[in-house]
Structure 1
């Protein structure tokens, strides 16, 4: 078993606290008004999810073994990240009176956007890493090509 890095666990804890603070500061409980446009809320919101994405990328560990092994790892990530969206997110949307179509086109997916985005980033990572390994290309050259293609 791999040794846990305490500073990453601490950063995850800080990220969780900022998510809670972002939700709390989005609503002013004293005047019962929306305060999501306040400086404090905008600062917290601009920090919290990029920190989670950064930490997820920091701890990703991938060693190319074969296409089949990589596919199994990706399926495992899909199971961990997408099953909660299907089992919790869609029923929640239906319970709130929305259709599945409205759930799919909603940009925030009623709070489940992060899991979907994280899975998409894993897919991109696995594809890029596997391509580099199979074609023996330099990572920097491949990433420059991707950036040029995106632009």
Structure 2
């Protein structure tokens, strides 16, 4: 079993908090994702970071790929991601909408993340199996090609087909590039660690990220060139945003190796991200009556209220998770947890 990396778990916990925070803004306070600075700022790195981390921990250099191992890994990921998602999606539909929503027509609503992540694992596992019998470079080249193809598809394709709904293909095309980046950074870990340990590169990451933020909020830049603006807004700011956040947690890795109460909280949340993701939609309150307090420039009010609601929501999710996990059967089917 691969030893857990504490600062990665801490980063997972932080990113999961941001996911809940973002959903509180959009679903509880009905603030459109790009209507305020704080909501649009989070979009620059929140989901890219989650997929980057997923790719980072997906790569394990000690794995010996074979058809049997491939089948084992595929079943393990289906058990962890597809079965729980289907169960919670169905429960959510019947609880809040009165009937089952057909994902072929309407997609998986807010439960798209685990579906897309499973599809990324399929791509990575298939290429890893092929690479076993050909060349290890097949994995690198194949994942990079899929990432580029996803960007091209987003720019050119018709997105109205039902197959795109049930596969959440738009989000797969959008985020597989960050999963790929995570895989490559972990695979070539020694070089990557040199980069994130270098003060020169850290400075470059921060400066470029801030520059991108200034540009995407500049009205003149928005109207200058659609392609250039899209490149900065949809790609460049996301890469450097996630790198800034990663470098911050990497530079504070000693904090997550100690036994402080705050570190333990981050690690605990980071090791229960699936539980929180699946459960938190059931606890998001309807607080649209507070929207009048959420003016676009009221950043402090937005952060304070959304943080308070997010903390309570995560606490309730963890409480329910612990209760459900007292049953080995429920732990297996709801969270893919298999008792050793």
C-alpha separation in 2, matches of 1:143 and 1:58: 13
Please provide the CA RMSD for this pair: 2.6
1:44 lines up with 2:42 in the alignment: yes
Q: CA contact under 8 A between 1:25 and 1:40: conserved in structure 2?
A: no
Report what 1:3 is aligned to: 3
Higher relative contact order (Cα pairs below 8 Å, separated by 6+ residues):
2
> Structure 1 residues 25, 92: closer, same or farther in 2, change over 3 A?
closer
Deviations 1:66-107 (A, max 9, x none): 112211111111011001122111232234134442x33324
> Structure 1 residues 39, 16: closer, same or farther in 2, change over 3 A?
same
1:20 lines up with 2:20 in the alignment: yes
Report what 1:120 is aligned to: 119
Report what 2:79 is aligned to: 79
C-alpha separation in 1, matches of 2:5 and 2:38: 30
The structural deviation recorded for 1:16 is: 1.3
> Structure 1 residues 145, 81: closer, same or farther in 2, change over 3 A?
closer
C-alpha separation in 2, matches of 1:89 and 1:146: 28
- Give the TM-score normalised by the residue count of structure 1: 0.79
Structure 2 unaligned segments of length 5 or more: list them: 153-340
> Structure 1 residues 126, 40: closer, same or farther in 2, change over 3 A?
same
Structure 1 unaligned segments of length 5 or more: list them: none
- Give the TM-score normalised by the residue count of structure 2: 0.38
Partner SS, residue 45 of structure 2: helix
The structure number with the bigger radius of gyration is 2
C-alpha separation in 2, matches of 1:88 and 1:144: 33
C-alpha separation in 2, matches of 1:42 and 1:146: 27
